[in-house]
A and B are shown apart, each in its own frame.
Chain A
Amino acid sequence: MALASSPEGSDLARALRKRPLRRPGENLIVASLVLCAAVSIATTFAIIFVLFSDAIGFFQEISFWHFFNPTNQWQTLFNPRSFGVWELVLGTLNVTLWSMVIALPLGLAAAVYLSEYAHVQTRRFLKPLLELLAGVPTVVYAYFALTFISDDVLLPLFGDSVSFFNSLSASIMLGVMILPIIASVSEDAMASVPRDLREAAYGLGATRLEVAFRVVFPAAISGIMAAILLAIARVIGETMIVAVAAGSTPSLTLSPLESIQTMTGYMLQVALGDAARGTTDYTSLFAVGALLFLMTFVLNVGAQIIVRRFREAYE
Chain B
Amino acid sequence: MAVVGATPETVRLRAEGSVARRQAWSRASRWILLGATLLGLVVLVILGIDNAIVGIPSLDWDFLSNYPSRFAERAGIRSSILGSVWVLVFTVIFAIPVAVGAAVWMEEFAPQNAILTTVRLNIANLAGVPSIIYGILGLAVFVRLMELGPSILAGALTLALMILPMTVITSVEAINQVAPSIREGSLALGATRWQTVWNHVLPGAMPGIMTGTILAIARAAGETAALIMIGAFTFIAFDPAISFAGLLDSFTTLPIQVYNWTIRPQPEFRANAAAGIIVLMVAVIGLNALALVVRDRLRRN
Chain A residues at the B interface, C-beta cutoff of 8 Å: 1-3, 5, 12, 16, 19, 21-23, 26, 29-30, 32-37, 39-41, 43-44, 46-47, 50-51, 54, 105-106, 109-110, 112-114, 117, 126, 128-130, 132-133, 135-140, 142-144, 146-148, 152, 176, 179, 183, 194, 197, 201, 204-210, 212, 214-215, 218-219, 221-222, 230, 233, 236-240, 243-244, 264, 267-268, 271-272, 277, 285-286, 289, 292-293, 296-297, 299-301, 304, 309-310, 312-314
Chain A nearest CB from B269 CB (Å) reads 11
* Alpha-carbon gap, A309 to B135, bound state (A): 33
If over half of A's interface residues share one DSSP class (helix, strand or loop), that class is named, otherwise mixed; here it is helix
Closest to A23 in B: B192
**Can you list 27 A-B pairs with a CB-CB distance of less than 8 A?**
A26-B192, A37-B119, A46-B141, A50-B140, A51-B133, A51-B136, A113-B37, A138-B222, A139-B222, A140-B222, A143-B258, A143-B273, A148-B47, A201-B13, A205-B15, A206-B13, A206-B15, A207-B23, A209-B25, A233-B128, A237-B129, A264-B130, A289-B136, A292-B132, A293-B129, A296-B128, A313-B6
CB distance from A287 to the nearest CB of B (A): 11
Question: Residue B69 at the A interface, CB < 8 A?
Answer: no
For the complex, is B51 an interface residue (Cβ under 8 Å from A)? yes
Closest A residue to B141 by CB, please name it.
A46
Chain B 1-42, CB-CB to A under 8 Å as 1, else 0, gives 011111110011101000100110110011011101101110
Whether B125 and A44, one on each chain, are in contact in the complex, defined by CB atoms closer than 8 angstroms, is: yes
Contact of A144 among B51, B136, B195 (CB under 8 A): B51
Q: Are A33 and B44 in contact (CB under 8 A)?
A: no
CA of A271 to CA of B158, assembled, Å: 15
Instruction: Please encode chain B, from 82 to 105, with 1 for each CB lying within 8 Å of some chain A CB and 0 for all others.
Output: 000000000000000111111011
With A218-B8, A289-B133 as contacts: A2 and B188 at CB distance below 8 Å: yes
B-side contacts of A204, CB under 8 Å: 13
Give complex CA distance A196, B78 in Å: 59
CB-contact partner of B132 in A147, A209, A239, A309, under 8 A: A239
Question: For the complex, what is the distance from the CA of A143 to the CA of B4, rounded to whole Å?
Answer: 47
Q: In this complex, what residue of A is CB-closest to B160? A: A39
A contact residues around B2 at 8 Å (CB) = 194, 314
B253-288 contacts to A (CB < 8 Å) = 255-256, 258-259, 262-263, 270, 273-274, 277, 280-281, 284-285, 288
In the bound assembly, the distance between CA atoms of A301 and B168 in angstroms comes to: 18
Separation of A274 and B29 alpha carbons in the complex (Å): 55
List the B residue with the shortest CB-CB distance to A108.
B36
| Shortest Cβ gap from A310 to chain B (Å) | 6
Say yes or no: B13 contacts A113, CB within 8 Å.
no
Note all chain B residues with C-beta closer than 8 A to A142: 259, 262
Query: Taking chain B's interface residues, is the majority helix, strand, or loop, or is none over half, making it mixed?
Result: helix
Known: A22-B192, A126-B37, A136-B281. A300 touches B125 (CB 8 A): yes
> Is A33 touching B105 in the complex (CB atoms < 8 A)?
yes
Contact yes or no, B222 A136, CB < 8 A: yes
For A144, A146, A218, the residue with the greatest tally of chain B CB atoms inside 10 Å of its CB is A144
Q: Is B224 in contact with A12, judged by CB distance below 8 angstroms?
A: no
CA distance A286 to B141 in the complex (A): 13
The answer to whether B102 touches A314, judged by C-beta atoms less than 8 angstroms apart, is no
Q: How far is the CA of A233 from the CA of B25 in the complex (A)?
A: 35
Residues of the A chain whose Cβ atoms lie less than 8 Å from the Cβ of B114:
none
The answer, among B13, B54, B110, B263, for a CB contact under 8 Å with A37, is: B110
Closest Cβ neighbor of B105 among chain A residues: A33
Please tell me which one of the listed residues B161, B188, B229 contacts residue A271 in the complex, with CB atoms under 8 A apart: B229
